[in-house]
């Protein structure tokens, strides 16, 4: 019986031969082992030769230095893991935690995960430009460092590390009123940087005016007034840790210190923590908080501030479209969509979800006010998504503080390097070479 073999079908059955016809011969007369049922030479086992193994045996000497550890960090989450190992629980939780059940923070981070990027192909992305203009000045990256209080508590280099890293990266740095380095010292530490100042507007206008004047004299071109702190949020991790400023040497903290000696050595051998911008303040921390978070503030106070401050004015803590429009009507040059990193009102609106609506509303009003976003950013792709949906700029708080706690100034540098690499890669894969070319068409929100 004869089997017909369709031409070109390698999976068709073959007819067993009655006799062995011998090895197959190619058109050139050479024998082919595969056709005869043998294995190609590359698939035959053999004893490996030293010459073959030598290039594979590139054993590296283990590196345990801080620089080596930081190089191994590929994500902000890696830096967070390092920070947790190196920092006592109370300062770490002060940075890492949020208010009450921390729902706002989890939702803010989840919001960035619940998106779908929509890439374009066949675009020239051989050169990626992440630079942008914000509030009348250039920034090499579309991200700046947000104001954070008590920063030298997280790591002894504190605001000095943050401001110098920001200057080196060509991005703005924002000093908090509750910072542990003064306006003047930050300006001296980062003389080439673009420094902004964050203000809690006090009922004591003389004290507020003094800080505003010092900010101007120190060369700050932007004042960022925070308005979402009528009272302090219920930050339960801090309550459970018995967190004090500065940290107290209790039995619990001494035991904690035994696992983190470098932090305590740095803490005890540097200048004690103080609220450096508040040189005339002599009250307790609790009194300071009560004075700082003024429940009587209204839009009239914003009007006073607009008249007083001659530089760029940004209002931080906007959480509704209506308030975004109102603060712009009252003279703000920019807004920060922020729920204070989830540290004030739990279940607060998520800035990333609010962004498209606010952007559309301000465009409808023909406003050129800058839209800045913070809360939840842990990856450069988060920043690109925010820019695509209407943000002009972004701010990072925890993301850079994890780097600070992981390795001081070098750790902040590494955090910014990671975010920059994330942004460049995301832009290239989206088929976009400039920040200005990002549009809402590049991002789809899967659920809200």
pLDDT of residue 85: 93
pLDDT of residue 288: 64
3-class secondary-structure state, position 448: coil
Q: CA dist 122 to 119, 273, 431, Å?
A: 10, 54, 7
pLDDT of residue 55: 77
Q: What's the pLDDT tens digit per position in 9-29?
A: 544 555 554 444 455 555 555
pLDDT of residue 60: 72
Residue 353 annotated among the catalytic residues of the structure: no
What DSSP string describes 358-387? HHHHHHHTT---EEEE-SS--SHHHHHHHH
pLDDT of residue 198: 97
pLDDT of residue 247: 66
Share of the chain above pLDDT 90, in %: 65
Task: Please report, to the nearest 10 degrees, the dihedral formed by the alpha carbons of residues 374, 375, 377, 378 taken in order.
Answer: 140
pLDDT of residue 351: 97
pLDDT of residue 10: 45
**Residue ranges in the chain whose pLDDT is less than 50:** 1-7, 10-11, 17-21, 31, 33, 284, 286
Query: Residue 388 CA to chain centroid, in angstroms?
Result: 17
Q: CA dist 95 to 84, 148, 152, 397, 409, Å?
A: 10, 9, 12, 9, 17
Share of the chain above pLDDT 70, in %: 85
Task: Please report, to the nearest 10 degrees, the dihedral formed by the alpha carbons of residues 177, 179, 182, 183 taken in order.
Answer: -50
pLDDT of residue 58: 74
pLDDT of residue 232: 84
Residues 340, 353, 366, 442: which is the catalytic one?
Answer: 340
pLDDT of residue 216: 96
């Amino acid at each position: 019986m004869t089997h017909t073999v369709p031409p070109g079908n390698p999976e068709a059955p073959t007819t067993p031969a009655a006799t062995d016809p011998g090895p197959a011969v190619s058109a050139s007369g050479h024998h082919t082992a595969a056709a005869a049922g043998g294995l190609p030479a590359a698939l035959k086992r053999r004893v490996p030769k030293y010459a073959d193994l030598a290039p594979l045996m590139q054993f590296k000497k283990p590196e345990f230095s801080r620089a080596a550890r930081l190089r191994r960090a590929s994500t902000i989450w890696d830096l967070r893991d390092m920070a947790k190992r190196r920092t006592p629980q109370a300062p770490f939780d002060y940075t890492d935690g949020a208010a009450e059940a921390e729902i706002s923070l989890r939702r803010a981070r989840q919001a960035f995960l619940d998106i779908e990027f929509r890439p374009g192909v066949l675009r020239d992305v051989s050169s990626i430009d992440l630079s942008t203009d914000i509030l009348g000045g250039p920034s090499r990256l579309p991200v700046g460092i947000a104001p954070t209080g008590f920063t030298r508590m997280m790591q002894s280099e504190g605001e000095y590390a943050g401001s110098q890293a920001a200057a080196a990266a060509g991005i703005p740095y924002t000093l908090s009123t509750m910072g542990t380095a003064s306006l003047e010292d930050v300006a001296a530490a980062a003389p080439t940087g673009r420094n902004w100042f964050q203000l809690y507007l006090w009922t004591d206008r003389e004290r507020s005016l003094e800080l505003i004047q010092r900010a101007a004299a120190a060369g700050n071109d932007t004042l960022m007034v925070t308005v979402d702190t009528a009272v302090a949020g219920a930050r339960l991790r801090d309550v459970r840790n018995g967190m004090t400023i500065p940290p107290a040497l209790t039995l619990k903290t001494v035991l904690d210190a035994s696992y983190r000696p470098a932090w305590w050595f740095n803490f005890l051998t540097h200048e004690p923590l103080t609220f450096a911008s508040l040189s005339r303040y002599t009250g307790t921390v609790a009194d300071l908080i009560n004075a700082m978070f003024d429940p009587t503030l209204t839009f009239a106070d914003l009007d006073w501030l607009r008249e007083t401050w001659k530089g760029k004015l940004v209002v931080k803590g906007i959480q509704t479209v209506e308030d975004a429009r109102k603060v712009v009507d009252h003279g703000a040059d920019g807004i920060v969509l922020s729920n204070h990193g989830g540290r004030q009102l739990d279940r607060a609106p998520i800035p990333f979800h609010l962004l498209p609506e606010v952007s559309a509303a301000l465009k409808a009003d023909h406003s050129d006010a800058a839209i800045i976003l913070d809360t939840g950013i842990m990856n450069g792709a988060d920043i690109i998504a925010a820019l695509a949906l209407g943000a002009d700029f972004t701010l990072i708080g925890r993301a850079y503080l994890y780097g600070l706690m992981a390795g001081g100034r070098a750790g902040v540098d590494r955090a910014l390097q990671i975010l920059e690499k994330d942004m460049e890669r995301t832009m290239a894969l989206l088929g976009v070479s400039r920040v200005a070319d990002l549009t809402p068409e590049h991002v789809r929100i899967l659920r809200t």
